[in-house]
Amino acid sequence: MIRKIRISCTVLVALLCAACEQPPPPPPPPPVRVSAFLSCAAQGIDYVTDPVNAGKTFVSKKVSFLAPGFDPQLTGSNYHSPQCNNPVSGRYLSTLSDAFTIAAPSFKEHLCGLTCVFVNENPCHDPQHCTPDDVTDNSWGFREQPSQSTAAGRYIATSKLLWKGTTPPDALDTYESAVLNRLLKWKGSNKPKHGHAIPDNGPDMTVLAALAHELGHVRWFDVNVPSPGGSYDFTYLMTCADGTGFFANSWQFTNTSFLEVPNRWRQFGDRPDVSHVEHKTDPKLSDIFQAIDNDDERTLGGFNNTLHSPSQPWPSLFGSFTPDEDFVETYRLWVLEGALLQSFPLTIPFGQGNGPSTQNIALDVISHNKPELERKINCVANAPYR
């Protein structure tokens, strides 16, 4: 009995001493995470039971003109979040509504999850001579960092110049051909050219493609930088749902730091350091860039033909430039095929020897002739969202 009392006292003393100790400090608050976005339905955008009016409702609630001068790269006191308070109307309303209407439900939800979609009113660099460069340079997608706003707003903008004054946007083949030839810096008159997209080559598809590309940049950071302003985490893209990884058969890199976007902002046509990140298969980026810089159109034609062929993993020439543009352009292709894109041929001068060739990535994907790109599309489509 005495022995039992001594044990009980020892336990009691230990408990009393533990109670006298200072409690451990509370754990730090978790980092800000973009983990849930408002659904379309939660914002009164009902594309399920009211598909006819949902596009106009989306535009009225989520799209705004953006006055000239906003710079999404500013930080600190120089930066102020853009305001979604200047609704669009007329041809902007109708084309954007049509683009929303033809989008698949998954992309509709991604659009609704944005803080705002802007029509950027920045003017042409030379008001007397507007070019496709003015459209791409005034279009962007970004997510705010803590140095800008703790709200972590998610925005995309497409240029007002896409509408070319009083006319609708260009058809998809014209728009995408202009983007391609800006990347190639093709100076000859015999340029690579897209044929009509099937079944829809209209301005609604052009606007959808433009929105999808810019939202792809936002999604890149949603997926790979879970905490705005935090560290990169490529866990998902290194494995995807199938365990293979997004980059596995497309890119070779010395370490994942070379997958990161320098300064977290990608300018149109930026090139990576090819000594650290390169294509896994020919044609290599170093050779493509050399042909572009040398205006070697015959060599470039062969490279372009190969890049678009069924054996290659690229969603577009643009997507072959950097790992993040690969993700963005794969996302764009997923969105367009969700809008029932079946065929989008590209005629390539000097594609085979001295003769032209025709390649069709969209048709190859739905025909299951590009299994690696199809796998990458599935990876992007299943990337974490909520």
Q: What is the pLDDT of residue 122?
A: 95
Residue bearing tokens 């690579």 = 192
Residue bearing tokens 């993993």 = 313
Q: Are the CB atoms for 114 and 218 separated by under 8 Å?
A: yes
Q: What DSSP assignment string belongs to 257-269? A: GGGSPGGG---TT
Q: What is the pLDDT of residue 189?
A: 81
pLDDT along the chain (386 residues), means of 10: 41 38 43 65 97 97 97 95 96 97 97 98 90 91 95 96 87 96 88 97 98 98 94 97 96 96 93 96 97 94 96 97 98 98 97 92 98 98 86
Give the count of alpha carbons within 13 A of 269, CB side only.
14
Q: Are the CB atoms for 253 and 276 separated by under 8 Å?
A: yes
Of 369, 359, 363, nearest to 343 (Cα)?
Answer: 363
The rounded distance, in Å, linking the Cα atoms of 268 and 63 is: 23
| Angle of CA points 288, 293, 296, to nearest 5° | 70
The rounded distance, in Å, linking the Cα atoms of 18 and 243 is: 47
Q: What is the pLDDT of residue 1?
A: 41
Q: What is the pLDDT of residue 386?
A: 58
Rounded to an integer, what is the distance from CA 268 to the centroid of its chain? 13
Helix 371-381, helix 323-338: angle, nearest 10: 90
Q: What is the pLDDT of residue 190?
A: 87
First to last CA, the chain: 61
